[in-house]
């Protein structure tokens, strides 16, 4: 898929601030002629995307609870989120949280990218710059940012102009909340993340941080965001929960992000404090990629139902295969999820955790295989929303606008 594809319940333009000269390119300077032959220049890279989403059959009427975005900004950015379905029991649509989370992450990464150097906003600055009706932030977040900058020995950032007084209060800023755990012990809200490189592009982890702080809705979600640094050839990724990504190189698994869980089937997740994990808890990766690498970004609906060897086998070999590869993976995962006899990655992990069917069911489902009597065991796929984003790393068109 080319361009931007986003599941979102509101128009992004309604939340888009005028972001200014801070995100513009630094002025070009005249180059000094070099003596001798020029050093070879590494090719700039970009990601070509393909996406497939298959909602859970019982959730198809409202699109399911997964959310995603892909964007060609810079070398390419993408993200996926899986809303926690348990919120349905409280009459809340879990998709609202995951889709707002991804909408904000995408907006932040697109507006706070940088080309050729140039100052850009940190998470606290960006949140504080949002107009009324946009992501909450305000003076409290700006103060948190200033304290963080000072603690790290970084220069202070210019404060945004004060917002006009209105009936809309910013008292719901998390920094002003008095939070405590079940035993009454105070819970500290961590300050917004601030990159040590004030002139560099915003990171995937910062995108998760700002999206989490800006999503003030009941609900919770896992999330994984990645961005390609086109000039450096590095994939910057951050993952919180049991979604994740894989890199396939030359037909073999090159890297797989680990699932992050409190315990089996309870992943780390974003939500409203105090019941939340934070972006600083996310696993962060900086991985070298090269032309021809395939990247598979997926929610647990795919990862729980499709063994790694099948993901590697179906991974795209070229940019022209990304759409077909994503569709093939999602469809096979869907079929596996409906197969009661399939030995899925989900049931394999459950068995490793000591979970199994009761003994009477083992006896009822016993069978002979290869001349041996075998008790039954936990089997079957896991019905769920399925979302997969496939990407292939390619060399960018030299005539295209450079971006990072």
Using CA atoms, how far apart are residues 76 and 235, in angstroms rounded to an integer? 10
Q: How far is CA 342 from CA 28, 380, 399, in A?
A: 59, 5, 49
Mean pLDDT per 10-residue interval, the chain, length 404 residues: 34 30 30 47 82 95 94 93 91 93 93 50 59 44 46 44 33 58 76 66 90 92 95 94 97 96 92 91 96 97 97 97 98 96 90 74 72 71 96 81 48
Using CA atoms, how far apart are residues 262 and 212, in angstroms rounded to an integer? 19
SS3 336: helix
154 and 69 in a common domain: no
216 and 190 in a common domain: no
Question: CATH no. for residue 302?
Answer: 3.60.40.10
Residue 79 lies in a domain: yes
pLDDT of the residue at 29: 34
Residue 371 lies in a domain: no
- What is the β-pairing status of strands 77-83 and 252-256? unpaired
pLDDT of the residue at 351: 81
Report the domain count for the chain.
Answer: 2
Instruction: Specify whether the CB–CB gap between 190 and 278 falls below 8 A.
Output: yes
pLDDT of the residue at 367: 74
Query: What's the pTM?
Result: 0.74
Q: How far is CA 9 from CA 6, 61, 70, 117, 360, in A?
A: 10, 15, 16, 34, 48
pLDDT of the residue at 166: 32
186 and 223 in a common domain: no
Using CA atoms, how far apart are residues 350 and 150, in angstroms rounded to an integer? 47
Instruction: Specify whether the CB–CB gap between 251 and 312 falls below 8 A.
Output: yes
pLDDT of the residue at 111: 83
Q: Which domain holds residue 273?
A: 1-11+42-120+199-331+384-404
Q: How far is CA 140 from CA 82, 146, 170, 214, 384, in A?
A: 29, 10, 9, 13, 39
189 and 319 in a common domain: no
Instruction: Specify whether the CB–CB gap between 207 and 300 falls below 8 A.
Output: no
């Amino acid at each position: 898929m080319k361009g931007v594809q986003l599941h979102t319940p509101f128009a992004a333009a309604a939340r888009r601030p005028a972001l200014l000269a801070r995100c513009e390119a630094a002025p070009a300077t005249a180059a000094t002629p070099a003596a001798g032959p020029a050093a070879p220049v590494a090719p700039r890279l970009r990601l070509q995307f393909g996406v497939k989403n298959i909602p859970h059959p019982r959730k198809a009427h409202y699109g399911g609870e997964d959310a995603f975005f892909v964007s060609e900004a810079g070398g390419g950015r993408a993200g996926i989120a899986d809303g926690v379905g348990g919120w349905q029991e409280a009459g809340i649509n879990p998709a609202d949280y995951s889709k707002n989370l991804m909408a904000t992450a995408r907006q932040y990464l697109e507006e706070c990218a940088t080309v050729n150097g140039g100052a850009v906003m940190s998470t606290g600055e960006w949140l504080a710059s949002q107009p009324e009706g946009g992501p909450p932030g305000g003076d409290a977040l700006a103060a948190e940012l200033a304290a963080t900058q000072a603690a790290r020995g970084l220069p202070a950032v210019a404060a945004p102009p004060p917002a006009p007084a209105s009936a809309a209060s910013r008292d719901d800023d998390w920094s002003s909340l008095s939070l405590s755990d079940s035993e009454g012990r105070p819970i500290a809200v961590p300050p917004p993340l601030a990159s040590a490189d004030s002139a560099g592009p915003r990171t995937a982890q910062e995108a998760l941080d700002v999206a989490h702080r800006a999503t003030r809705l009941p609900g919770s979600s896992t999330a994984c965001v990645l961005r390609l640094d086109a000039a450096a050839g590095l994939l910057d990724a951050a993952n919180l929960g049991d979604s994740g990504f894989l890199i396939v190189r030359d037909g073999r698994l090159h890297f797989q992000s680990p699932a992050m869980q409190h315990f089996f089937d309870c992943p780390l997740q974003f939500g409203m404090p105090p019941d939340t994990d934070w972006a600083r808890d996310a696993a962060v990766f900086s991985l070298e990629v090269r032309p021809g690498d395939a990247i598979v970004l997926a929610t647990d609906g795919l990862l729980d139902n499709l063994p790694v060897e099948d993901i590697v086998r179906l991974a795209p070999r070229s940019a022209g295969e990304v759409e077909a590869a994503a569709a093939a993976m999602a469809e096979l995962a869907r079929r596996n999820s409906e197969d009661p006899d399939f030995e899925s990655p989900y049931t394999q992990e459950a068995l490793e955790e000591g979970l199994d069917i009761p003994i009477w069911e083992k006896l009822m489902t016993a069978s002979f295989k290869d001349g041996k009597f075998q008790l039954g065991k936990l089997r079957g796929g896991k019905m769920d929303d399925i979302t997969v984003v496939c990407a292939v790393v390619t060399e960018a068109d030299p005539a295209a606008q450079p971006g990072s």
